[in-house]
Amino acid sequence: MTATTITDVERLFEALQALSRALAAGDIDAVLDAERPIVAAINRLPLSASGSAAVSDGERERLRATIGHARAALADCRRMGEAAGAMADAGAAFSHTYGRAGELTTPAAATTVQSRG
């Protein structure tokens, strides 16, 4: 691992922070836009440490801290995603309509998800 790996983990952390902010804001477009930088950052990370250069003590500590920040940002994203799901479920529980005969009905759940292609 080298300084490049540390930079790649920092990029992942920044991309996860952007996703967390987008989730907190409820900005669907920003959530979708956050996907590419996350994928790019993950794809730049080495899959194993075998054959990589030795890491100095200073780099090791910086890498450990940066990975810790990335893990915390991922946990934030998970919490935000779970909260968004809970809010959607709560909203769906209260979305009733009236049928042709005036009876209270619950609309069927959507079977598709809209997404940008």
Tens digits of residue pLDDT in 55-73: 677 788 888 899 999 999 9
Question: Domain residue spans in the chain?
Answer: 3-86
Residue 4 CA from chain centroid, whole number: 23
Residue with tokens 């959607």: 88
pTM: 0.66
| Closest alpha carbon to 29 in 87, 110, 116 | 116
Q: Which of 50-54, 57-61, 71-75, 92-96 has the lowest mean pLDDT?
A: 50-54
CA torsion sign for 41, 43, 48, 53 is negative
pLDDT tens sequence across 11-30: 999 999 999 999 888 888 99
Task: Give the amino acid at 38.
Answer: I
Res 97: pLDDT? 74
Res 11: pLDDT? 92
Residue with tokens 């979305």: 95
User: How would residue 50 be classed by pLDDT, with cut points 50, 70 and 90?
Assistant: low
